[in-house]
Amino acid sequence: MSQIDVELNGETRQIPSSLTLKGLLEHLELDPRKVAVERNLEIAPRDGYDSIRIEAGDRLEIVHFVGGG
């Protein structure tokens, strides 16, 4: 399977090409219900994870809630 480079949480990573965002989260073993994703500075809407295709060079931020004051 061919690979592409993306920037994930500030680090360059190789991932399989032609993944959807849902596929990427599965690949990363993340529960889509517990994270939020920003793609190229735009919020990736939760109901669009199936249709958003990850492309080479995408800048992705995957965040979740942690303890804070």
Partner 1 sequence: MTAQTQQDSPLVIAGRTFKSRLIIGTGKYETYEQNARALEASGAEMITVAVRRVNLSDPSQPRLVDFIDPRQYTFLPNTAGCFTGEDAVRTLRLAREAGGWDLVKLEVLSDPKHLYPDMAETLRACEMLVKEGFEVMVYCSDDPVYAKRLEEAGACAIMPLGAPIGSGLGIQNPVNIRLIIEEAKVPVIVDAGVGTASDAAVGMELGCDGILMNTAIAEAKDPIRMASAMKHAVIAGREAYLAGRMPKKRYADPSSPLAGLI
User: CA nearest 58: which of 29, 28, 35, 38?
Assistant: 38
Residue 6 in the binding site for partner 1 (CB under 8 A)? no
Exposure on the CB side of residue 41, measured as CA atoms within 13 A: 0
Region 18-37 residues binding partner 1, contact defined as CB under 8 A? 28-30, 34-37
Q: Count interface residues toward partner 1 (CB under 8 A).
A: 27
Kindly state whether residue 55 participates in binding partner 1, applying the rule CB under 8 A: no
Distance in Å, CB of 51 to partner 1, minimum? 16
Min separation Cβ 36 and partner 1, Å: 4
Q: Is 37 exposed, middle or buried (0-12, 13-18, 19+ CB in 10 A)?
A: buried
